[in-house]
Amino acid sequence: MIHSMTGYAVASAELPRGALTLELRSVNSRFLDLQFRVAEELRAAEPALREMIAARIARGKLDCRLSHGNASPQTPRELNVQAIGQLRKLAAEAAAAFPGAAPLRLADVLRWPGVLAEPAADEGETRGALDKLCRRVLDELCAARGREGAKLALIILERVAAMRKQLAQVAPLVPEAVAAHRARISERLREALGSGDDDRARVEVALFAAKSDVDEELSRLAAHLDEVERVLAQGGAPTAAGGPPTAAGGPVGKRLDFLAQELNREANTLASKAAGLKIADCALELKLLIEQIREQVQNIE
């Protein structure tokens, strides 16, 4: 399956100490570039996150955000006796310094940082929830990238079909264009030589014919298009362990980018050898279609 490098996924899991939220955003990149924004209390989970993401994603710039929200109002809490004692001491000292000041209200005490103690974090529970959450978000991200990749593959196949039509139009034009151009060159040579030196004319015409022969370029273009279709059809098959696709059938973006470069090179050669205006126009149209393919290939994993 062809995957785009563009995708987005987010999910949350409720824990006693608040919601655990993981957000993944990915865009195109030459290599795998991971950027993490993790809450300080969850910083120890970053290596595990990095390992899980790298096992599923092969290319792309990926931004990972992991946050831990505040506990819900229904979460049981206990009074922190030590914090209350410190607050009472501070209140007494403040009252001595400012005799006319109003005393602390109960609501003020409860809002004081640290007075209401939240349940202690269960590291095992947090680690297990984060593992499930990461797998869930990665599934959603890969699915989104897969849907986008399928659209890109269809676009590329449409351009390939259009290029095949151009090649089908060029092939029958070549012999006629070469013959007409050969006749013009032969006539000009005879006029320039001012004699009936047919041998010299035949040599020059033969050299032109060799330089204007585009059969090789047309064959290579067709072969490259066959390879593009094969790569898209083969797509990327994940490994048995669920990791990144294998090199033979996996991330195909670099392979397709190479093929697009080769297609462009052959199209340039075809344009330089064009023996007629129609062939030159077809070569230009091929280059436009190839550039459209390259634009789409830049987003494929």
CA 149 → CA 1, 28, 220, 250, distances in Å?
Answer: 8, 12, 26, 13
Most confidently predicted of 79-83, 84-88, 243-247: 84-88
Is 239 within the bounds of a domain?
Answer: yes
Residues 22, 136, single domain; the answer is yes
In the listed set 92, 108, 140, which residue is the last one of a domain according to the structure? Answer: 140
Residues 100, 128, single domain; the answer is no
Residues 163, 293, single domain; the answer is yes
Q: Is the separation of the CB atoms in 18 and 137 below 8 Å?
A: no
Residues 156, 293, single domain; the answer is yes
The residue range of the domain holding 53 is 7-72+122-140
Residues 27, 112, single domain; the answer is no
Is 1 within the bounds of a domain?
Answer: no
pLDDT at residue 249 above 70? no
Q: How confident is the model at residue 200 (pLDDT cuts 50, 70, 90)?
A: low
User: What's the CA gap between 152 and 214, in Å, rounded?
Assistant: 31
User: What's the CA gap between 8 and 57, in Å, rounded?
Assistant: 13
Question: Using CA of residue 251, residue 294, residue 139, residue 136, what is the dihedral sign?
Answer: positive
Residues 42, 87, single domain; the answer is no
Residues 112, 236, single domain; the answer is no
Q: How confident is the model at residue 5 (pLDDT cuts 50, 70, 90)?
A: very high
β-pairing, 18-27 vs 60-68, is antiparallel
Residues 98, 216, single domain; the answer is no
Is 2 within the bounds of a domain?
Answer: no
User: What's the CA gap between 145 and 4, in Å, rounded?
Assistant: 5
